[in-house]
Amino acid sequence: MKIRAWFFLASLTAAGCGSSGPSSIPQADACNQAAKSACGKIYGCQPTLATALFGTQDACETMILSSCGSSGFQCAATQTYHGDKAEMCKDQFTALSCDTLIATALSANGTVSLSGAFASITASVPVCGQICTTP
Q: What rounded mean pLDDT belongs to the chain?
A: 75
Give the chain's domain count.
1
Range of the domain at 88: 2-133
Q: Cα(87)–Cα(42) distance, rounded to whole angstroms?
A: 19
Q: Cα(135)–Cα(62) distance, rounded to whole angstroms?
A: 33
Q: Cα(135)–Cα(127) distance, rounded to whole angstroms?
A: 16
Quick one: what percent of the chain has pLDDT higher than 70? Answer: 70
Stated pTM of the model:
0.70
Coil, helix or strand for 24?
coil
Coil, helix or strand for 81?
strand
Q: Cα(130)–Cα(29) distance, rounded to whole angstroms?
A: 17
How confident is the model at residue 133, as a pLDDT? Answer: 93
Q: What are phi and psi of 133, to 5 degrees?
A: -130, 155
Alpha helix stretches (DSSP H) within 16-75: 30-45, 47-54, 57-68
Coil, helix or strand for 80?
strand
Q: How many helices (H) and strands (E) does the chain have?
A: 7, 2
How confident is the model at residue 112, as a pLDDT? Answer: 53
